[in-house]
Chain A
Amino acid sequence: MSVRSRKAVGGGFALLTGAAAALVVLMLAVILLDVARGGAGRLSWEFLTAAPSEGMTAGGIFPAIYGTAVMTLVMTVAVMPVGVMTAIYLHEYAPPTSRLAAAVRVAVTNLAGVPSIVFGLFGLGFFIQFVGRGLDRVFSEPGTLRFGQPALLWASLTLAILTLPVVIVATEEALRAVPRDHRDASLALGATRSQTLARVVLPGALPGILTGAILAVARGAGEVAPILFTGVAYFLPDLPTSPFSQFMHLGYHTYVLATQSPDVEATRPLLYATVLVLLLLTFALNLVAIAIRTRTRRRAAAGH
């Protein structure tokens, strides 16, 4: 082949890969535009603050927003200490050849790959049937169930386990970005390992840890499969009042409106507006996380 034809063929291939990249970006744009166009008209203050009414063909989504927010908050409180401490163990305490650390890493990778519906089964089998029913046997009147049924707490804890790898990976990356010199300097000044961690390493890693938290929240807020049998409800007249109440959820509400509406045409605008809210929420969180991460990486690459 002559150089020119080789270049022409190559240009064709490069163009093809470019077309693939463009196609992916185009699909993203189409989804966003479709949701924005379909949902913007129905979005209003009232929609955000009112409860659904008339068989979900009117009203708003406030209980679903509230449920999602509370569930995500409980999840975050549960997952952050565990995730950050695991990353600290992996990066700060475990020796490089540690078998235990290797096992933790393998487990975390596998945890990240477990299908979300299996988390739902786990939540049902472990938190509700095992822990909840166990608590009922001890604390509840015989024959009544206080803990052994779907609840906000069980859903939050299920999602905390699902998002654990997200927090660990982000925190470890953040710890890696703290220069070794900082640790050495602190230790050389007589600080102990834990003092170095608390006053030097963790403050330096804070933006990265925050990124992890945001990514976990974005992921947790959007997952529906794990909460299907662990706490979410189709419709509730009241907001959840205790960790053992059931709750409404934006993602599940989307699923319900999209698949189980008695009047598809009447729910369509509500459905689009709900999706828009869910998307704005997870998207805004993701954008913030990506922005922080890009800045941290760039700074790390520039040698601080």
Chain B
Amino acid sequence: MKAIEAAGGAGAPRTPRAAMRRRQVREGLIEAVVTLVALTGIAAVVLIFVFVAREAIPLFTDPEIAKEVDLGRMFLPRVTRAGRPPGFIWQPVGAIPKYSMIPLLLGTLKVTIVAMAVAAPAGVAAALFTSEFAPPRLKEVLKPTIELLAGIPSVVLGFFALMVMATWLQTAFGFSFRLNAVVAGLGLALTIVPVVFTVSEDALAAVPRSYREASLALGATRWETAFRVVLPAAAPGVLAAIVLGFGRAIGETMIVLMASGNAAITSWSFGESVRTLPATIAAEMGEVVVGGAHYAVLFFIGVELFVFTFVLNGLAAWSVRRLVRRMSGAAA
């Protein structure tokens, strides 16, 4: 008791009741401060949106900027040279700047498709193996090892894709462009796999043991149990893993900036160089005039990325909640 009273500070109150009140005030104060600080997370998300959007708003309000670019010019086909069919061109520096988002959106999509086509099956399969087939010893090594891959900075993965993978892939497939959507996509897959793996593995591990035991007792083999019982039961979590991976793939910057070649070409060919939304921001922000049209467009891309990932995160969270509800229903 003495220590506690001493902690009350100098000028300790004389009556026990006053001491009690002081203590209550102090406790209330501490709780208020802790609660206030906890609001930082909410404030951060709101401020990020507000301040990224704030720099993009002149796009819609500034008449000077409206001469150069508007929504139509960002998304609809335009005739850029007389006699040519209308097209989509991103060429923000030049006599007549052109700000079509289409090549950038297409580039992002192509790189993301390649990354997900590899990372989703690989991540889910590795999670299935770790959770259902691996002996406990191996499992204990496998999980942290794959998580280590998530600890490699993306600039290092970008470096690896640029210096090593690009050469391998060109030798293997004979691409005419050394840096292209496939190289960037596979580099990107390296950073998506651990995301898909970790979230899927958590979902699979959350499936109650009784499911597996019931299935095995009914005469199903281990793989039938894994594929037809455990995987379907964990499906919302696995879906969340893939959605989260997708969101990460869209927003990843350094790998793509280094390994994609960064040419804004409107084409469906995966062997050509591509320029993605995040890489465009990273590559061009250093050279723009603050407050100009190009500056506002780059922030507008930031808003697009924020909204994309916000929606995908919401989707993943909803999916995880479904999984939790399903699993807690099963336990009851």
CB within 8 Å of B: which residues of A? 3, 6-7, 9-11, 13-14, 16-21, 23-25, 27-28, 31, 34-35, 81-82, 85-86, 88-90, 93-94, 100-101, 103-104, 106-111, 113-122, 124-126, 129-130, 161, 164-165, 168, 190-195, 218, 221-225, 228-229, 251-252, 254-255, 258-259, 271, 275, 278-279, 282-283, 285-287, 290, 294
Contact = CB atoms under 8 A, between A and B. Distances in A.
Given A218-B151, A259-B258, A225 B278 contact: yes
Interface stretch (B75-83, B158-166, B205-213, B266-274): B158-166
Contacts of A282: 151-153
Contacts of A7: 221
Contacts of B73: none
Q: Considering residues B27, B153, B290, which has the most beta carbons from chain A within 10 angstroms of its beta carbon?
A: B153
A225 B312 contact: no
30 contacts: A6-B224, A10-B223, A10-B224, A17-B132, A23-B122, A24-B122, A27-B149, A31-B190, A82-B37, A89-B35, A93-B34, A100-B38, A107-B41, A114-B45, A115-B278, A117-B278, A118-B48, A118-B305, A121-B281, A125-B52, A161-B48, A164-B41, A168-B41, A194-B27, A195-B7, A222-B155, A224-B253, A225-B253, A251-B156, A255-B159
Contacts of B4: 190-192, 195
Contacts of B248: 113
A254 B156 contact: yes
B233 interface: no
Interface stretch (B90-98, B109-117, B138-146, B170-178): B138-146
Given A107-B45, A125-B52, A117 B40 contact: no
A24 B197 contact: yes
Pick the 7 closest A-B CB pairs, nearest first: A115-B251, A222-B153, A10-B223, A20-B125, A89-B38, A286-B151, A17-B129
Contact of B221 (A10, A118, A218, A254): A10
Given A28-B152, A223-B154, 20 more contacts: A10-B222, A17-B126, A24-B197, A28-B146, A28-B149, A34-B160, A100-B35, A114-B306, A116-B251, A118-B48, A118-B302, A122-B52, A124-B285, A190-B1, A190-B4, A192-B4, A222-B154, A225-B278, A278-B155, A282-B153
Contacts of A119: 48
B30 interface: yes
A89 B254 contact: no
Chain A interface secondary structure, helix, strand, loop or mixed? helix
Contacts of A16: 125
B60 interface: no
A31 B194 CA distance: 15
Contacts of B281: 117, 120-121
Given A21-B142, A86-B38, A113-B313, A278 B153 contact: yes
A290 B45 CA distance: 28
Interface in B3-20: 4, 7
B63 interface: no
Chain B interface secondary structure, helix, strand, loop or mixed? helix
B31 interface: yes
A81 B312 CA distance: 30
A147 to B, nearest CB: 15
Contacts of A20: 121-122, 125-126, 129
Interface of B: 1, 4, 7, 23, 26-27, 30-31, 33-35, 37-42, 44-45, 47-48, 51-52, 54-55, 121-123, 125-126, 128-130, 132-134, 140, 142, 144-149, 151-160, 162-164, 190, 193-194, 197, 221-224, 226-227, 244, 247-248, 250-254, 257-258, 278, 281-282, 285-286, 290, 298-299, 302, 305-306, 309-310, 312-314, 317
A28 B159 CA distance: 14
Contacts of A254: 155-156, 159
A171 to B, nearest CB: 12
Contacts of B253: 115-117, 224-225
B223 A11 contact: yes
A275 B155 CA distance: 9
B152 A279 contact: yes
Given A222-B155, A224-B154, A275-B159, A121 B224 contact: no
Contacts of A251: 153, 155-156, 254
Nearest to A133: B290
Q: Considering residues B130, B160, B286, B309, which has the most beta carbons from chain A within 10 angstroms of its beta carbon?
A: B160
A139 B227 CA distance: 65
Contacts of A90: 38
A163 to B, nearest CB: 11
A193 B282 contact: no
Contact of B48 (A9, A103, A122): A122
Contacts of A218: 151
A3 B148 CA distance: 39
A80 to B, nearest CB: 12
A222 B197 CA distance: 21
A255 B31 contact: no
B147 A103 contact: no
Contact of B148 (A35, A100, A116, A283): A283
Nearest to A253: B155
Contacts of A35: 156, 160
